[in-house]
Every structure is written in C-alpha cells, then in structure tokens.
C-alpha cells in the first residue's frame, strides 16, 4: 500500500471524490504541512497547516497518476489564495509528495494540465515534499454522510460545482473518474506505463491475454457499463454480458454507439477476429461466432482492458446517458 496527500480547499468536499475508487482503502481528512504541535480545527491555520486528505491505495489496482487526475477535477488549480469561497493559505491547493517518483509524476501531470488549454490563467497549485499529517477530529471524517443537509448547503454555497462544471462539463467535481474516463487524446507510451498497471498495459498496448477465471470481471453480477481503461469510451453493458464458460467477460454485442474495431488476427497459428476500441485503439480481446441469439456473437474481452462503472455511479462518473438502460 502507498500514501498520497492532496489539499484542495475544504476537506469535506475533497474526501468523497476518492472514497469509492477501486484500489483506495482509506481516505482521511486532516491537517498537513504545518509546524505547530497538536493542531485542531480551532487553531490549525494559526499553526501553518492546510486542510488536506490522505489516501491509502493499492498501486496494483489504481496508480498515482490516476489519483492525480481525480484530484485536478476537484479544484481550481489557478487560484493560489484558497479555493472557491474559502480564502487563506489554509485552504490553498497543493500536492504533498511522499517520494521522488510522486514528485516527478505530479510535475508531469501539472504540465499536462497546463498544456490542455482548459484554463486562461497559469496553474498555481504547488507541489512540495510531504511532511506531517494529523488526522482531523472524528466529526470531520465522511462529513458528507454524517450531516448531508449541512454538507449540501455548504457545497452549494461555495461555488465549487458551477466552476468545475464550467471546466469539466456536467457532473464537474462530483465525477471522480479514474483515468480512462473520456479523454480527447490517447496518452503517450510513458504516460500509459505510469497510469496503467503492468497487466493493463500489456493487454491494451501489447495484445497480451490475461488468465481465464482469474480476472476481475469474468463473473461480475453487478449492473453497469464497461468503458475502455485508457480512454473511457463506453464499450459494453452488463445487459449484454453472459456466462460463456470461457473464464473471460463475454458480451453478445457492444453498447449502442460504441466504435469497435474488428481486425484479422493470424497469430499463434490461428485465424481469429481481434477486437479493439475505436478511440484509443486498445486491444480488448476477440470476437467469435458461438454466442447466443439473436446476434450469435461472443465478444471475449480481457478484464484488464476495462473499467466497470456500476449503474448507481453512472451520473457522477459522467455517463448519465446510460442510466435508462437499467430503468425498469
């Protein structure tokens, strides 16, 4: 397990974005990078601390660049004087790096954000070495669930959501997509190696095949959609998933609107039809003609090429248009 620490203004608003991410085991709200002893909510600002969240995550399931992508979607990175309605250095945005690798990845992520032309003003979010972090009082932990009415009033009045929606589109900061969610460009090789797990990279970029019956979604029974782990483009839905007995996720057809590529594959002494995603050109798996009626097709797909979005999370993840698929 590894640790990531981010400051993005009020920790009430930042904590929920990370809590439900696959691979994240714990998210704590607290006070970071100060000098005085024993900070509390009453005096942390006087002691030089900033409100922050500390995340414990499994890097084999979610990478640090993926967490960075989620972080940028919660803040105004051009504001050095606080965040939204909360002003002062105790509310400034910052990335607190725990090692040299995190610093390098954070700086690269900040450079990519600056080059995206999303903002008119320069990126002001600081990247510094992590020092101390003190967990905040219990009543601040998961505040959005403990006092939802208070939380919603505060969030609505802060101006955070209208700003984030203006930058990232509908859903704004409520969306916490792991990278892979609907990007306009395909990342370069080095970025993909940093962002994806080794297995995800091998499958999507090197046409590898994962082990049957030992992958994440072969026996999934939750309702939702699957998107490309690289680009976030919607590919399949559980409405069309069936148990083929092969040990990999199997689908009778792609989701409506998916731009699936079909290519001849003559490797390994066989003649097969390879399946690739349309936007990111990710290797997904293979297509066979032994599926159920009415299509008679079986899209045999590697779990490592997919990210699953449960039906209850479609709206906040930015895929609300697919909710109708699961309405009775």
User: If you average pLDDT over residues 84-96, what whole number do you get?
Assistant: 96
User: If you average pLDDT over residues 48-67, what whole number do you get?
Assistant: 91
> Would the pLDDT of 12 be above 80?
yes
CATH 1.10.3720.10 fits 189-326, yes or no: no
Report the pLDDT value the prediction gives residue 178, as an integer from 0 to 100: 44
Per-residue confidence band for 212, with pLDDT thresholds at 50, 70 and 90: very high
Residue 314 or residue 89, greater confidence:
89
Q: Contacts by 141-150 with C-beta closer than 8 Å and gap 24+?
A: 141/15, 141/28, 141/29, 142/15, 142/16, 142/19, 143/12, 143/15, 143/29, 144/12, 144/13, 144/15, 144/16
Task: Find the length of the chain.
Answer: 328
Report the pLDDT value the prediction gives residue 321, as an integer from 0 to 100: 86
Domain ranges of the chain: 2-174, 189-326
User: If you average pLDDT over residues 280-295, what whole number do you get?
Assistant: 94
Report the pLDDT value the prediction gives residue 170, as an integer from 0 to 100: 66
Task: Write the pLDDT tens digit of every residue in 119-141.
Answer: 999 999 999 999 999 999 999 99
Task: Write the pLDDT tens digit of every residue in 141-185.
Answer: 999 888 888 998 999 899 999 999 998 876 655 544 444 334 444
User: If you average pLDDT over residues 171-200, what whole number do you get?
Assistant: 64
Q: Answer yes or no: 246 catalytic.
A: no
Task: Write the pLDDT tens digit of every residue in 238-259.
Answer: 999 999 999 999 999 999 888 8
Phi and psi of 160, rounded to 5°?
Answer: -65, -50
Active-site residue (options: 13, 97, 144, 300): 300
Report the pLDDT value the prediction gives residue 179, as an integer from 0 to 100: 41
Q: Answer yes or no: 13 catalytic.
A: no
Report the candidate in 219, 215, 216, 268 with the shortest Cα–Cα distance to residue 245: 219
What percent of the chain has pLDDT above 70? 94
Q: For residues 255 and 314, what is the distance between their CA atoms, to the nearest angstrom? A: 14
Q: What is the DSSP letter of 267?
A: G
Per-residue confidence band for 318, with pLDDT thresholds at 50, 70 and 90: confident
Report the pLDDT value the prediction gives residue 111, as an integer from 0 to 100: 92
**pTM of the model as a whole:** 0.59
Peptide bond into 190 cis (omega under 30): no
Report the pLDDT value the prediction gives residue 40, as an integer from 0 to 100: 95
Report the pLDDT value the prediction gives residue 232, as an integer from 0 to 100: 85
CATH of domain 2-174: 3.30.1060.10
């Amino acid at each position: 397990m590894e640790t990531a620490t981010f400051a993005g203004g009020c920790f009430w608003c930042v904590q929920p974005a990370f809590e439900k991410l696959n691979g994240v085991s714990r998210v704590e709200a607290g006070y970071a990078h100060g000098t005085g002893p024993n900070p509390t909510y009453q005096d942390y600002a006087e002691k030089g601390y900033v409100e922050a969240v500390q995340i414990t995550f499994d890097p084999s399931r979610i990478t640090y660049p993926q967490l960075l992508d989620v972080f940028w979607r919660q803040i105004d990175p051009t504001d050095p004087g606080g965040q939204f309605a909360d002003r002062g250095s105790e509310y400034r945005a910052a990335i607190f790096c725990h090692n040299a690798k995190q610093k390098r990845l954070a700086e690269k992520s900040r450079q990519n954000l600056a080059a995206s032309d999303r903002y008119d003003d320069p990126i002001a979010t600081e990247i510094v070495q992590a020092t101390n972090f003190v967990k905040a009082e219990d009543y601040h932990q998961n505040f959005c669930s403990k006092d939802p009415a208070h939380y919603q009033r505060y969030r609505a009045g802060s101006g955070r959501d209208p700003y984030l929606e203006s930058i990232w589109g509908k859903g704004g900061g409520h969306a916490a997509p792991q990278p892979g969610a609907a990007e306009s460009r395909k990342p370069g090789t080095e970025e993909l190696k940093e962002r994806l797990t080794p297995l995800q990279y091998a499958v999507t970029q090197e046409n590898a095949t994962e082990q049957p019956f030992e992958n994440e979604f072969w026996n999934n029974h939750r309702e939702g959609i699957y998107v490309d782990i690289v680009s976030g483009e919607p590919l399949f839905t559980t409405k069309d998933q069936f148990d083929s007995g092969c040990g990999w996720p199997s689908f009778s057809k792609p989701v409506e609107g998916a731009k699936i590529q079909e290519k001849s594959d003559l490797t390994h002494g066989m003649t097969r039809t390879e399946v690739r995603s349309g936007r990111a050109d990710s290797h997904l798996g293979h297509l066979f003609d032994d599926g159920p009626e009415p299509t008679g097709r079986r899209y045999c797909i590697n779990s490592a090429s997919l990210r699953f979005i449960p039906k209850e999370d479609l709206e906040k993840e930015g895929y609300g248009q697919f909710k109708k698929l699961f309405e009775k």
